[in-house]
Amino acid sequence: MPSTELRLVSWNVNGLRATLKKDPSFEEIFHTLDADVFAIQETKLQDDQRAKLKLATDGYAQTWNFAERKGYSGTAVWSREEPLQVIRQIGCEVADDEGRVCALEFNKFWFVNVYTPNAQDGLKRIDARLAWDERFREFLQELDKDKPVITCGDFNVAHQEIDLKNPGPNRGNAGFSDEERESFGKLLDAGFVDTFRARHPDVTGAYSWWSYRFRARQNNAGWRIDYFLVSERIAQNVTGASILNEVYGSDHCPVELTIEL
């Protein structure tokens, strides 16, 4: 069977309803990017709220996962192809009720959209965060035994100093603690490739999230915490990995992967 190039997009929208009201709106951005699979994190929706949105996204199968807590977390995936099956929980007690994963099986690969728990100020939730990381890593390895994996989302960690504007003052803070960085490194060591850094090993100033404070986005004082990772055995199939920092509407911008499968 001939390979097909797929365009995949991931975006933490920080509240889908808010993004729908922006100019351009989420729907306009969605159609402009024209992805084969479009994943979002932090929808902040319940199922009944989602049903009222009447999104103009015809031609896509929709997969949603909602947090039990209202106005919090949540993930969703639009795919041109209907998934063979969907997994919404990974077997991690600390956050399995928070709507953080949509794992979709397709013919040639598993696609896993994730919104990783934040360690929070003062690393108040670091133990839960690390427990999640460990279980998520095991989950991906289990899927990888079946089919190669493409996983994306807001991983809430800048892995290396090159991945944020001000590493010195942020060392030890949530998202740049030694524990979180080491944990992300374990995920890569488990057989997964950070596609953007693999293709752009020395590029600086490439960020996907900026604080709403201190004119951070205007000054590009950001962090790269949104990723596409792929199983090592399909890393050579990646044809492009980009950060779409020209797209506004959230404190994050979308990230994109193109891959031949």
DSSP-derived 3-state class of residue 42: coil
pLDDT digits (tens, 9 = 90+) for 113-157: 999 999 999 999 999 999 999 999 999 999 999 999 999 999 999
pLDDT of residue 54: 87
Give the residues of the chain that fall short of pLDDT 70.
1
pLDDT of residue 1: 57
pTM for this entry? 0.98
Cα Rg of the chain (Å, integer): 17
**Which class for 57: exposed (0-12), middle (13-18), buried (19 or more C-beta within 10 A)?**
middle
Identify whether 154 is a catalytic site residue.
yes
Name the active-site residue from 154, 163, 194, 226: 154
d(CA 171, CA 86): 37
d(CA 53, CA 215): 31
Question: Cα-flanking dihedrals φ and ψ of residue 11, to 5°?
Answer: -150, 125
Cβ within 8 Å of residue 96, ≥6 positions away:
89, 90
pLDDT of residue 156: 98
Identify whether 202 is a catalytic site residue.
no
Locate 145 and state its tokens: 């035994």
Enclosing H/E stretch for 143:
helix 126-144
Which among 101, 117, 77 is positioned nearest to 225, based on CA atoms? 117
pLDDT of residue 3: 81
Tell me how far CA of residue 205 lies from CA of 94, 161, 162, in angstroms. 34, 11, 8
The residue to which tokens 């962090």 are assigned: 223
Name the active-site residue from 115, 207, 226, 227: 115
Tell me how far CA of residue 231 lies from CA of 238, 243, 258, in angstroms. 11, 20, 14
Per the CB < 8 A criterion, the answer to whether 184 and 224 are in contact is no
Tell me how far CA of residue 143 lies from CA of 38, 178, 193, in angstroms. 20, 27, 15
